[in-house]
Chains A and B, each alone.
Chain A
């Protein structure tokens, strides 16, 4: 009998496991696939490790947003490397703008390009530092329109928020601000792959007597007297625990709760009818040795100032994030570059019924075409990139769906809507008092959002 059973081993599940293990609880994490980590896992091809979702983390300097959380989780002594002072470069319509670390330098840097918006930029950074739960009801796009009279600047400050789903009518300011602010505090890359995080959290769980089991897909939760008493896996194993935490998509969780009478139809319907965010297309490029010098910043390239609408437009790709991986061999040159662009689910419709590795030649051609479009756009930042590429691996929302169990391949979980915050932001509690929720669908996506949610979830157990 375990103290806590966690369904799913994404970052949120493992963080909950590590936090509870550090409080002396015996934790069991059940992962359905062959590898723990969810979006944090990496894969190996041709001698190199490729990450699936980890690119950079914000606010890790002492006293900043994420430092205390990561210190408590035992993650601060991993090899974090601070990025360039100019951590994000934005190119829109061929013009380059730079984001500097530190709120004041961020605002002053952009004020050089937009001197007529200096006061607006000051107001903006003050707002980013004073976000409250009330901002779940504020439309981010409306706020930006009220703050910046210069449409280009509105696009520039939003350009690096490709780390969430930019949707004009619904994205809450709460989410937009959390996506941007910690990176302005300070930006960091991990020297190594996301498995460093996964392994560290797993070690903490196991050192406290817990376990992380793979190939253990939970298919049913059983309720008795208003509490969950056990989880049944597809392999027939049944595990009992005092508390249960779900780190899987809430709609998928509801399928496991079919036989739990305390969970109302309305709760199930609400979770299952909730909209999902868009997915991402990623082209992971293996660069020829010595072809490209490493740069410790990201670049966001858009062909025109349509940052908030480009994901809805048809091909070709209108915006791309470029992120390089820290060379681990001390080389000055980079071997791996990720190109990312939003990709709505409807672009996958043709291959919905297919499985990994069996999607057919037309899917390969689609990915090839999309990669070429991303590379063409990225060449505005890295001239000659096309000829530097040695190998390319791609992923689409279908990949997210099939590897991570994310319905419709949503990259940021369930959509949050400022017009209906009570229905789209969720409590970590459920109708079953010993079943809690965690993960990116509940409150906020991203590493910061998932980590903050993990603390909220564990706070219900560690009183």
Chain B
């Protein structure tokens, strides 16, 4: 998948799943605040990425993913 395709797909999925306006998802927006993530819903986010792209976000990498742009980068770099 191209980066643009990843962005379009993951944004739509996250907006639906976390019940937020898709327009709020911008590359520089902070993921945790935008999606109102807590420790449980963070696991849901990891689950979505794993299910849709076969990409597992490791515990070690998690602190480095703070914005949506960093999430797109991670998926793009790790997708099979």
| A binding-site residues for B, Cβ under 8 Å | 137, 264-267, 269-270, 273, 419-423, 427, 429-431
Are B51 and A422 within 8 A (Cβ)?
no
Stretch binding the partner chain, chosen from B22-30, B39-47, B71-79: B39-47
Whole-angstrom distance between the Cβ of A134 and the nearest chain B Cβ? 9
Whole-angstrom distance between the Cβ of A216 and the nearest chain B Cβ? 28
Residue ID in chain B nearest A266 by CB atoms: B44
Please give, as numbers and ranges, the residues of chain B lying within 8 Å of A265 by CB-CB distance: 17
Please give, as numbers and ranges, the residues of chain A lying within 8 Å of B47 by CB-CB distance: 266, 269-270, 423
Are A267 and B51 within 8 A (Cβ)?
no
Q: How far is the CA of A307 from the CA of B56 in the complex (A)?
A: 29
Q: How far is the CA of A137 from the CA of B51 in the complex (A)?
A: 20
Other than A273-B51, A423-B56, give 5 A-B pairs with Cβ distance below 8 A. Answer: A266-B45, A269-B51, A270-B51, A420-B50, A420-B56
Please give, as numbers and ranges, the residues of chain B lying within 8 Å of A137 by CB-CB distance: 59
Task: Decide if B48 is an interface residue (CB 8 Å cutoff).
Answer: yes
Q: Which of B47, B48, B59 has the most CB of A within 10 A?
A: B47
Please give, as numbers and ranges, the residues of chain B lying within 8 Å of A427 by CB-CB distance: 39-40, 43
Please give, as numbers and ranges, the residues of chain A lying within 8 Å of B43 by CB-CB distance: 270, 422-423, 427
Are A422 and B46 within 8 A (Cβ)?
yes
Residue ID in chain A nearest B43 by CB atoms: A422
Residue ID in chain A nearest B57 by CB atoms: A422
Are A264 and B17 within 8 A (Cβ)?
yes
Quick one: given A273-B51, A427-B39, are A267 and B59 in contact (CB under 8 Å)? no
Q: How far is the CA of A270 from the CA of B17 in the complex (A)?
A: 13
Are B59 and A422 within 8 A (Cβ)?
yes
Is the contact region of chain A dominated by helix, strand, or loop, or is it mixed?
helix
Please give, as numbers and ranges, the residues of chain B lying within 8 Å of A419 by CB-CB distance: 56
In the complex, which range does the number of interface residues on chain B fall in? 10 to 19
Are B17 and A430 within 8 A (Cβ)?
no
Are B44 and A264 within 8 A (Cβ)?
yes
Please give, as numbers and ranges, the residues of chain B lying within 8 Å of A421 by CB-CB distance: 59
Are B39 and A266 within 8 A (Cβ)?
no
Q: Which of A264, A265, A427 has the most CB of B within 10 A?
A: A264
Please give, as numbers and ranges, the residues of chain B lying within 8 Å of A266 by CB-CB distance: 17, 44-45, 47-48
Are A423 and B17 within 8 A (Cβ)?
no
Whole-angstrom distance between the Cβ of B41 and the nearest chain A Cβ? 7
Q: How far is the CA of A269 from the CA of B43 in the complex (A)?
A: 12
Q: How far is the CA of A427 from the CA of B59 in the complex (A)?
A: 15
Residue ID in chain B nearest A426 by CB atoms: B43
Q: Which residues of B35-65 have CB atoms within 8 Å of chain A's CB atoms?
A: 39-41, 43-48, 50-51, 56, 59
Q: How far is the CA of A419 from the CA of B56 in the complex (A)?
A: 9
Question: What 10 A-B pairs have minimum CB-CB distances, sorted nearest first?
Answer: A266-B44, A270-B47, A266-B17, A420-B56, A266-B47, A266-B48, A267-B44, A422-B46, A422-B43, A423-B47
Please give, as numbers and ranges, the residues of chain A lying within 8 Å of B46 by CB-CB distance: 422-423
Are A423 and B48 within 8 A (Cβ)?
no
Residue ID in chain A nearest B48 by CB atoms: A266
Q: How far is the CA of A128 from the CA of B48 in the complex (A)?
A: 34
Please give, as numbers and ranges, the residues of chain B lying within 8 Å of A273 by CB-CB distance: 51
Quick one: given A421-B59, A422-B46, are A430 and B40 in contact (CB under 8 Å)? yes
Q: How far is the CA of A421 from the CA of B17 in the complex (A)?
A: 22
Quick one: given A264-B17, A419-B56, A422-B46, are A431 and B40 in contact (CB under 8 Å)? yes
Residue ID in chain A nearest B18 by CB atoms: A264
Quick one: given A266-B17, A419-B56, are A431 and B50 in contact (CB under 8 Å)? no
A-B contact pairs, 30 of them (CB 8 A): A264-B17, A264-B18, A264-B44, A265-B17, A266-B17, A266-B47, A266-B48, A267-B40, A267-B44, A269-B47, A269-B51, A270-B44, A270-B51, A420-B56, A421-B59, A422-B43, A422-B46, A422-B59, A423-B43, A423-B46, A423-B47, A423-B50, A423-B56, A427-B39, A427-B40, A427-B43, A429-B40, A430-B40, A431-B40, A431-B41
